[in-house]
Chain A
Amino acid sequence: MSASTNSVPNSSTGSKKSLKAFSDDIWKNKTAKINAELFTLTYGSIVSQLCTDYERDFVKVNNQLFLMGYNIGMRLIEDFLARTALPRCESLAKTSEVVSKCAFKIFLNVTPQVGNWSSSQDAFSLFLDENPLSDFVELPMDAAKELWYSNILCGVLKGALEMVQMDCDVFFTSDVLKGDQTTELRVKLNRVLKDEIPAGED
Chain B
Amino acid sequence: MTGANFLQLILVVLILMAVGIPLFSKLPPKRLFKPLDPDEEEYKHLLVRKEEVLLAIKELEFDFKTDKISKPDFEALHHKLEQEAMAFLEKIDDLEKQLKKRNKTSGAA
Whether chain B is bound by chain A comes out as no
